[in-house]
Structures are given as structure tokens and as C-alpha cells.
Amino acid sequence: MDITITTPALLFPAISVLFLAYSNRYLAIAKRIRELHNLFNRTQSHIAKKQVESLRIRIRLIIIMQALAVMGIICSVLTMALIFLGLQISAKTVFLLSMLLIVLSLLVSLWELLISTRALNIELEDMEVQ
């Protein structure tokens, strides 16, 4: 089966949506870090302190998610170049790599979401105790 130059182009809309979602996550975490910083400076809250490591990990994961997505889109562009040059076997291999990178990005996104859920549970537990 040969792939056409439009096949890797199908990933472009998905990538833009991914970047929008990943950027929104990053901005939300940055805002939360600033809020926790202010809270901790005012109250020395142990809840704020428990959130720090979670936020640190989540920021790293979002950077990894974005890097994987960027590499995926670069591979898609490279695939189109290889198709244009008539190198179908190489194009298929690079396109497969592109899809793999995007799937890895989504899996890291899921991991970050699970960490986020645990962080929210810390907040809820604190509210239940009070």
C-alpha cells in the first residue's frame, strides 16, 4: 500500500488541537503555581506544600507531551518530503514514527491527567476534614 502526500497532512489539524489543549494545561498549571505560592507565603499551608511536587511533575510531563507532538509533526512533514521524492518505504517508516510519537504524546497526556486528578483529591480531602 502506498501512501499519498495528503495522508500525513491529515495529522495537522489534530496537532493544532493538541497544542491548544497542551498550552491551556500549561497556563492553568502556571496560574495554580502562582496561587499556591501566594497561599503558602501567607499561611504556610501544608496542602500547598503537598501540591508542589505534583505540579513540578505535571509541568515536566506537559513539556514532554509538547516535545513528542512537535517531533510527530516534523516526522509528518518529513514524510511528505519523502513521498515527494518517491521514497515510499522511507515515507511509510517515518509516517509510522510520526503516529507513534503522537500516540506517546497522548499517553503522557493521560499520565498527566491522572496526576492532576490526585492533586484535586488532595484539595477535596482538605475540604472534607474542615
88-103 residue pLDDT tens = 999 999 999 999 999 9
Band of residue 16 on the pLDDT scale cut at 50, 70, 90: confident
Average pLDDT, the chain: 84
Residue whose C-alpha is closest to residue 126's, from 36, 37, 25, 34: 36
Q: What is the pTM of this model?
A: 0.78
Q: Rounded mean pLDDT of 31-55?
A: 76
Query: Cell digits for 115?
Result: 496526576
Q: Give the DSSP letter string of 111-125.
A: HHHHHHHHHHHHHHH
- % of the chain surpassing 90 pLDDT: 33
Ordered by start, the domain boundaries in the chain are: 6-129
**Residue 43: count of CB within 10 angstroms of its CB:** 10
Helices 46-84, 88-129: crossing angle, 10 deg rounding: 170
Q: Rounded mean pLDDT of 118-124?
A: 74
Query: Cell digits for 128?
Result: 472534607
The owner of cell 518505504 is 89
Band of residue 87 on the pLDDT scale cut at 50, 70, 90: very high
